[in-house]
Structure 1
Amino acid sequence: MGHLWLERSLLIVTLLSLLAPGSGGYIETMRKDREEALLVIHDVATENMGALCVTEPYRSLKVPLATSQYEGAQQKADMAAMLLQDLGVSHRSGLMDALARSLLVSDRHVLTARVLALNASSSTLINSVSWQRQFVVTPTLMSGGLDHSLLFELGGPHRLQEDGLRTGFRPDPRYPWYENADTSPGLWSPKFMPSPTNMSFRGWWTFPYFSCSVRRWLLSYSVSIPPPTKHGVKGFLSLDIDVSGLEVNQCDLSSGPKLSNQIEVLRGTHKCHNDTTQCVFRPGLGWMRGGYQCVCRHGFYSLRQKGVFNGSLVEAAWLEHEQNVSSLYHQMFRCLKCAPGCETCHNNAPCLATYNWPFRISLLAVSVSCVAFTLGLVGYVYQHRKIKVFKVASPIFLCITLLGCAIMYLEMAAIFPVLDLYSCIATKWSRHLGFCITYTALLMKTWRVSLTYRVKSAHKVKLTDKQLLQWMFPILLVMLIYLGTWTLSAPPIAEQIRDQAGLRFKQCSYNWWDHSLAIGEVLFLSWGIKVCYNVRNAESLYNEARLISYAIYNIALVNTAMVAFHLFIFPQAGPDIKYLLGFIRTQLSTSVTVGLVFGPKVVRVLRGQGDQWDNRARARGVTASFSLNGIGLMPEETADLYQENEELKEEIQKLAAQIEFMKIVHMEMNNRHLKPKPGGYFNAANTAVTLQSPVGKTTSSFLVGKNMAVGEESCIISPAEGASERV
Structure 2
Amino acid sequence: CTPIGGHGFVLDKYRCQCRKGFYHPNRVALNGFKGKEQSPGREEASDSASKCLPCREGCPFCRDDTPCTVQQAGALWLAVASFQGLCMVLDLACMVAVYHFRRNKSVRTSGLVLLETILSGALLLYFPVVILYFHPSVFRCVLLRWVRLLGFAIMYGTIVLKLYRVLKVFLSRTAQRSPYMTSWRVLRLLLVILLVVLWFLVAWTSAVCQNPEPSRALIAAGLTPEGLQFSMCLLDRWDYMMAVAEFLFLLWGVYLSYAVRTVPSAFHEPRYMAAAIYNELLISAVFHIIR
Report if the CA contact (8 A) 1:539-1:545 is conserved: no
Match of 2:18 in 1: 296
Return the alpha-carbon distance in structure 1 between the equivalents of residues 175 and 193 of structure 2.
32
The letter of the residue matching 1:518 is A
User: 1:380 and 1:282 mapped to 2: Cα distance?
Assistant: 79
Q: Which of 58, 64, 76 in structure 2 is aligned with 1:341? A: 58
- Equivalent residue for 1:415, pick from 132, 152, 162: 132
1:528 corresponding residue in structure 2: 253
Partner in structure 2 of residue 484 of structure 1: 202
- SS, match of residue 232 in structure 2: strand
Q: TM-score, normalised by structure 1?
A: 0.37
Sort the Cα spacing of 1:425 and 1:332 in 2 relative to 1 into closer, same or farther, 3 A: same
Partners of 1:440 and 1:418 in 2: CA distance: 31
Paired with 1:457 and 1:483, the residues of 2 have a C-alpha distance of 38
Choose from 303, 309, 325 the match for 2:30: 309
Match of 2:278 among 538, 550, 553: 553
Alpha-carbon shift at residue 445 of structure 1 (Å):
0.3
Contact 1:307 1:335 in 2 (8 A): no
Structure 1 residues 46-67: Cα deviation after superposition (integer angstroms, max 9, x where no partner) = xxxxxxxxxxxxxxxxxxxxxx
Q: 1:281 to 1:528 in 2, by over 3 A?
A: farther
Q: Which residue of 1 aligns with 2:211?
A: none
In the TM superposition, 1:559-638 aligns within 5 A as 559-565=284-290, 567=291
CA distance in 1, matches of 2:224, 2:134: 18
Aligned to 1:470: 188
* Aligned Cα root-mean-square deviation (Å): 2.3
Opposite residue 549 of structure 1, the aligned amino acid is A
Q: Match of 1:417, as an amino acid?
A: F
Separation in 1 of the partners of 2:72 and 2:169?
Answer: 52
d(CA) in 1 for partners of 2:10, 2:260: 91
After superposition, give the CA deviation of every residue in 1:546-597 in whole Å (9 maximum; x if it has no partner).
Answer: 11011111110111122233x3xxxxxxxxxxxxxxxxxxxxxxxxxxxxxx
Letter in 2 for 1:324: P
CA offsets, 1:435-465, max 9 Å, x none?
1110001011001111223223572642222
Deviation at 1:424, TM superposition (A): 1.5
Partner of residue 673, structure 1: none
Partner residue in 2 for 1:430:
147
C-alpha deviation, 1:303, in angstroms: 5.7
2:187 counterpart letter in structure 1 = L
Letter in 1 for 2:42: S
**What are the Cα deviations for residues 277-310 of structure 1, in whole angstroms up to 9, with x where unaligned?**
xx23445433635653221222333364x44212
Is 1:324 aligned to 2:46, yes or no? no
Structure 1 residue 320: Cα displacement: 4.7
Per-residue deviation, 1:331: 4.9
Whose strand fraction is larger, Structure 1's or Structure 2's?
Answer: 1
Q: Which runs of no fewer than 5 residues in structure 2 stay unpaired?
A: 209-213
TM score, norm. by length of structure 2: 0.87
SS of the aligned residue for 1:521 comes to: helix
Cα distance 1:493–1:335, how it changes in 2: closer, same or farther (>3 A)? same
Could you tell which deviates more after superposition, 498-507 or 545-554? 498-507
Q: Could you tell me how far apart the structure 2 residues matched to 1:433 and 1:374 are?
A: 17
Deviation at 1:340, TM superposition (A): 3.7
Look up the match of 1:370: 87
| Per-residue deviation, residues 91-111 of structure 1 (Å, max 9, x unmatched) | xxxxxxxxxxxxxxxxxxxxx
User: What is the distance in 1 between the residues matched to 2:98 and 2:233?
Assistant: 36
Show the 5 A alignment for 1:347-426. 347-426=64-143
CA contact (8 A) 1:389 1:542 kept: yes
Change in CA separation of 1:397 and 1:326 when aligned onto 2, cut-off 3 Å: same
The 3-state SS of whatever aligns with 1:297 is: coil
Judging changes above 3 Å, is the alpha-carbon distance between structure 1 residues 308 and 466 closer, same or farther for their aligned structure 2 residues?
same
The reply on whether 1:542 has 2:271 as its aligned counterpart is no
Q: Which amino acid letter does the alignment assign opposite residue 367 of structure 1?
A: Q
> Which deviations, in whole Å up to 9, do the C-alpha atoms of 1:157-203 show, x marking residues without a partner?
xxxxxxxxxxxxxxxxxxxxxxxxxxxxxxxxxxxxxxxxxxxxxxx
Q: Which has the higher helix share?
A: 2
Q: Is the 8 A contact 2:3 2:9 kept in 1?
A: no
1:296/1:307 contact within 8 Å kept: no
- Give 1:459's aligned amino acid: Q
Query: How many pairs are equivalent?
Result: 282
Q: 1:295 is aligned with what amino acid? A: Q
Q: Counterparts in 2 of 1:15-414, with a 5 A limit? A: 279-286=1-8, 288-289=10-11, 291-302=13-24, 304=26, 306-311=27-32, 313=33, 316-317=34-35, 319-320=36-37, 324=40, 326-327=42-43, 328-414=45-131
SS of 1:495 mapped into structure 2: strand
